[in-house]
Amino acid sequence: MTVAYIGEPISRVDGRAKVTGQAKYAGEPTVANLVYGCVVSSTIATGTIRSIATADALAVPGVLNVLTHENSPLPVTKRNFVDEAGSPGETFIPFRDNTVKFSQQPVALVLADTFERARYAASLVHVEYDGEPHLTDFHAALGKAYDPPWRVLLPPIPEPRGNAEKALAASATRVDLEYRAPVEHHNPMEPYASTAVWDDDGTMTVFDKTQGVKNVQGFLCSLFDCDEEQLRVLSPYVGGGFGSGLRPQYQVFLAVLAARSLERSVKVTLTRQQMFSLCYRPFAWQRVALGATRDGRLEALIHESIQNTSRYEHYCESTVHWSAMLYQCDNVKVSFKLAQLDLTAPADMRAPGAAWGLFALESAMDELAVELKIDPLELRLKNYAERDQNRNVPFSSKAMRECYRQGAERFGWSRRNPQPRSVRRGGALVGLGMASGVWEAPQLMASARAVLTLDGMLTVSSATADIGTGTYTIMTQIAAEALGSPMDKVRFELGDSSLPKAPVEGGSFTASTVGPAVQAACGKVRDQLFGLAKRMPRSPFAGARPDEVVFENCYVRLRKDPSRAVSFAEAMRNSMVNEVEGDASTGPSPKQNGYGTYAHSAVFAEVHVDEDLGTIHVVRAVNALAAGRVLNPKTARSQVLGGLVWGIGMALEEESVIDQRFGRFMNHSLGEYHVPVNADIRDLEVIFVDERDDIVNPLGAKGVGEIGLVGVAAAIANAVFNATGKRIRELPITLDKLM
């Protein structure tokens, strides 16, 4: 039988390269005659630049130039760029004019022959501003919220069902609550960097930290009015992205701008502080109102959200969509509005929309359970939706009941005491909480190429990315199984704009999007090999059908008599073929249109709260997921563990704090922006609930990146209430809010 690789807990194929330092990131290519760029950032939030004095910087030995809006060599182009992950509005491009749109906006780029000289010279650039009053206080802007133009990337806001306001007023039990969430910044280990390598013929190779090389290539080609053959983008390794790399960031534009200006190779790397001048998860104000019968049947659900955007872009998220589809309810109304602030634009951050939306919804469900004196898990089961409520279609699969059952059993939910402050252990108040999770499981269009050479090496390629999720590994597994090649005879290539087209890596859709294309491309190689084997003299496959053979360990074998076999190399040599190539493009099938495709989860958490100090420890958590076919339990478990850790950070630690006087994020370092460390993490457990889905995509996989995070913060917040009797509706839950 063919060796099965899909579903096996195989270690990362790129692991050795990463731990030995052989993996090179965007700021690490060895390039001769390299120029270093250092960004000068604005010190005001809004206004105009009156003057930029660069003479002192230019006088430093080794400084080649200082680029600003006054001398920016950006060519005039009329080409339009369609950003795959973009929002309606204006794409921010540095140095277009003297306008300052946000604090830490890049206003100059110092170019020197060493990084140290560039950094020192940057400190000598003197900028004078005409500042204007700024608005960076989200709560002060709530009264100016508006209905935004919607992102093409997202499904539309669900239409109202029934009459939610009337049903709420008539409900026997009601909760009507507000929840608030702060800005969170992407903080991947690898800062943003780009190295633009200049060729004498005017072509350029750009090493960029990105989650979409094709998207960056399109961005640069449209701005600099060049063809794709003139500009190649590479990103073979990414040290974390979390959505921040879905869109081109400004350092890649600056690196290419400088390289074209100097006709030399240029590297631009951002500091950790400058990383806070990029995208982030936006502020969120939410209202959730629930009405129910006395036995807990939902009769009304209202979910309103206001989030912030910039002055130049209308960034939207699917924050309220989940509330309209997750539970059975006939009277539902949701709305989403934006409030503009003088900040850089927000952007997609792991589980965009759902991270904040489900915190509010699942906290409100817990509060309703308290009012009804019903177990929170029982309340969710009582309102379990058998169909996608937004579209009124069946689910392609939904094993959420099993998530509840298995998660509750492993966690010991039945032992929970519903009375707050009733359990103490070792001087701490003990609380248990739970929440539901849901995330979409889409399949997009993607292409792949597979090439088998005479030495038995199978090279498969697609212009996707690996941001640490294990794309290299699972695509290698899919290819190896599809062709019957050993894993060590398969090489997967990604992160190169010259490879077959693939979308940006995000939204938990990469496995379900690129995987089928890889499978199909290998299938075409397989078909050709079978044809070559049948043409051999005295072929054991004469008259055999494709389903009567198996491909195993670089051999084609007759299924009923495996001893009758032909090696891949023999079949190719007989026809004097040095390589066999297969190209394939795949996308969603029409049958998927009639189904809701989602991954689901149930999260359970136990917290210990020091009664005197208010400190909180998440001592254990269980996340039970139904995510279709799990392609690699080892890498998938890592993804979910990362989601649990991040959820702990969301609930208890992460918050970007603005000094309203300056309109600037002040805790812009990892010393002041708090994330969980080893001491914060105790017993975390992941359960993959068996779920077969023949509709969602040919692999039956749903992705685990986002579903591992959603619901975690709500479960922790609910546990904190169970421990203390205090309901904290504003994240993060810090000790000052409990005292």
> Rounded distance, CA 358 to CA 303, Å?
11
Q: How far is CA 142 from CA 337, 355, 592, in A?
A: 9, 20, 39
With CA atoms as reference, report the closest residue to 277 among 185, 181, 208, 353: 185
CB 550 within 8 A of CB 541: no
How many CA atoms, within 13 angstroms, populate the side-chain half-sphere of residue 82? 5
Q: What is the 3-state secondary structure (H, E, C) of 603-655?
A: EEEEEEEECCCCCEEEEEEEEEEECECCCCHHHHHHHHHHHHHHHHHHHHCCC
**582: which residues sit within 8 A by CB, 6+ positions away?**
449, 450, 451, 520, 521, 522, 523, 524, 525, 526, 527, 528
Residues serving a catalytic function are 706
| Angle separating helix axes 213-224 and 250-262, nearest 10 degrees | 50
The first and second tokens of residue 493, run together, are: 């290539």
3 state DSSP class of 104 = coil
**679: which residues sit within 8 A by CB, 6+ positions away?**
none
Query: For residue 309, with 0-12 CB atoms within 10 Å meaning exposed, 13-18 middle and 19 or more buried, which class applies?
Result: buried
The first and second tokens of residue 4, run together, are: 């099965």
> Rounded distance, CA 510 to CA 197, Å?
29
Place of tokens 């100059």: 108
| Neighbouring-strand partners of residue 287 | 178, 304
Please say whether the dihedral angle defined by the alpha carbons of residues 528, 534, 539 and 540, taken in this order, is positive or negative: positive
Alpha helices in 468-618 (DSSP H): 471-483, 510-534, 568-574
H-run or E-run covering 107: strand 106-112
How many CA atoms, within 13 angstroms, populate the side-chain half-sphere of residue 264? 15
CB 551 within 8 A of CB 4: no
With CA atoms as reference, report the closest residue to 475 among 442, 440, 446: 446
H-run or E-run covering 165: helix 164-170
- For 474, list phi and psi in degrees, rounded to 5: -70, -35
> Rounded distance, CA 597 to CA 441, Å?
5
DSSP string, 243-262: TTTSS--HHHHHHHHHHHHH
